[in-house]
Amino acid sequence: MPSQPSTELETFPNPAPERDYWVHIEIPEFTCLCPLTGQPDFATLVLDYVPDQKNLELKALKLYTWSYRNTGAFHEAVTNKILSDMVAATSPRFMRLSAQWYVRGGIFTNVVAEHQSPQWSPSPTVLVPPSGSPGQPMRVR
C-alpha cells in the first residue's frame, strides 16, 4: 500500500537527552494552496531544533508536510501552524522554522517562527577557526 498524507507527527526518544545538540532538516518540496486564488505555493522549509526528550521521526514529518498539499493557507499562518504542531509533538528546548517561499508575482517571502522553552538556557557560542583560514573565527552553533 503506498504512503498517504498524515497530520500525525511521530517522535522517538532522544538518544542523548543529557546534551544540547542541533538538528537541521531541510524540506525543499513543501506545497500548499493560496487561499485567495487556489494556485499552488511552493516553499523550502528549514527546521532547526534542540531536542529535549523527543525527536521528530523523518518519515512521519514527510507525510505530515504532504498533508498540506491541498490546503489553502497564508504563508504566515501555515508556518506558525507547522511550528506549533511540531512543538506540541516534541516539547523541544528550542525550535526555529523558516519557510522560504518561492517568488510569485515578483515577491519572495521568508517567514521565520521560533519557540524556546522557558526552562532552557542555550550554551555559549563557541568560536572555531575555519579550516585553511588561521586566525579567522567561525561561529559554530
Domain ranges of the chain: 11-140
Q: What fold, for 11-140?
A: GTP Cyclohydrolase I, domain 2 (3.30.1130)
Supply the pTM of this predicted model: 0.86
103 or 132, greater pLDDT:
103
Catalytic residue check, 48: no
Query: CB neighbours of 141 closer than 8 A, spacing ≥ 6?
Result: 22, 125
Q: Give 51's Cβ-side CA count (13 Å radius).
A: 18
pLDDT for the residue numbered 123: 82
Quick check: 122 pLDDT over 90? no
Catalytic residue check, 41: yes
Active-site position among 20, 34, 48, 85? 34
